[in-house]
Amino acid sequence: MKKNAIKILTTTLLILTLAFLTACSSDDGKTENTGSETSQGNNKVTIAAQATSGQVFQYLAEENGYLEEEGIEVEVVYINNGSDAFSALSAGQVDIISTYGTGGPLMQIANGQDFTIFGGYMVIGATPVFALPETEYNDVQDFKGKTIAIMRGGTPDNVLRGILYNAGFDLNEDVEFLQMKKNTDVIEAVRNGQADFGAVSTGFELQLKEAGLNIVMWPDEIWPDHSCCKMVANTDWLANNEELAEKLLRAYIKAERDMKNGQAEKAVELIVNKLDLDKPTVESFVYSEHMKYDTDPYRHSVKTMWDMMHKFDYISDTGVNIDDHINNDIYGRALKSLLDENPEDDFYKEKWEAYESNNL
């Protein structure tokens, strides 16, 4: 049974539209209470997420008892509009946001928001670039002189711009970006010939096929580990709740271990039961070779994205030091504690090696 309850977040800064940014849910302010019912005080955390990409770590952590083991309670608030999620975080209505890319949080940080990235949810997301069947595409040079429909500031936008910049494009002269409000609008713009190409977020692969559109490029094949969804908190909140954040990451790392050790099908079933997504859609991203779930904050990839966004003028030089807004130590402690408890576990050993490579 679904455990979702309806909750409207009220603030002058925030209007929840929940119009399905990267999935199929249209519930307004849907929340889910999970974890230990006896948790009190500093053992509760509220996380905003998009109703897509499955929240696989959250669901497995709940189902397999890891939240209860860590003595924490998690409330998930589904907000499918990124700007609303950032407003909710800034206003303290949620403690953490987890599935809003990397570029969006970086733009917020560059504009003065005191946010800190401290964990990961995805390193890459399945963000296909597509076109009508008759549109010619051989390599990135075929984008020159074309119109690309996109949602400004999202992962598909930032990554594709970075790819074109590295390919020598003048992003103001060589290509036109048609900015849309929703992924479904992006699909329609390409379908009706308003744009030559489009790029959408996770969860739309089957919709593209149903619309008669062809996927011509997967960005991760050109820019591996480009940095997708990160866990982000207000810097002050994180400083005052490091132990809570560490417990959450321990639960999610254990869930990641389960998913990669044979529980992917279980994750699919949990997502189908928890969210308004059909099984083929869930399988399309859970099993996608272009989706890489990972709790690691990937500090180096975040900094690469930060530098790239400066190059194509999405971020101005305001003097912000991005190193002050990435905290990989909490994740490192969480992972090290699990490795110390399970010194012969290959998963934790490999994760520690990756942590050192990705962050230190």
Please give the chain's pLDDT, 360 residues, in tens.
333 332 333 333 333 333 323 333 333 344 454 443 333 358 999 999 987 666 899 999 999 999 999 999 999 999 988 889 999 999 999 999 998 999 999 999 999 999 999 999 999 989 999 999 999 999 999 999 999 999 988 899 999 999 999 999 999 999 999 999 899 999 999 999 999 999 999 889 999 999 999 999 999 999 999 999 999 999 999 999 999 999 999 999 999 999 999 999 999 999 999 888 899 999 999 999 999 999 999 999 999 999 999 999 999 888 999 999 999 999 999 999 999 999 999 999 999 999 999 999
Instruction: State residue 264 phi and psi, 5-degree precision.
Output: -65, -40
Structural tokens at position 282: 């869930």
Torsion of CA 90, 227, 163, 213, to 10 degrees: -90
| 118/236 Cα distance (integer angstroms) | 13
Beta-carbon contacts of residue 344 (< 8 Å; ≥ 6 apart): none
Query: Is the Cβ–Cβ distance between 322 and 109 less than 8 Å?
Result: yes
DSSP 28-93: SSEEEEEE-TT--GGGEEEEEE-S-GGGHHHHHHHHTTHHHHHT-EEEEEE---HHHHHHHHHTTS
* Nearest alpha-carbon partner for 309 in 160, 200, 158, 171: 158
How would you classify the pairing of strands 147-150 and 176-179?
parallel
Give me the domains of the chain, ranges plus CATH numbers. 4-124+227-359 (3.40.190.10), 129-217 (3.40.190.10)
Beta-carbon contacts of residue 265 (< 8 Å; ≥ 6 apart): none
Query: Is the Cβ–Cβ distance between 208 and 215 less than 8 Å?
Result: yes
Q: Read off the pTM.
A: 0.87
The side-by-side arrangement of strands in the sheet containing 214-217 is 176-179, 147-150, 197-199, 129-131, 214-217
| 124/72 Cα distance (integer angstroms) | 28
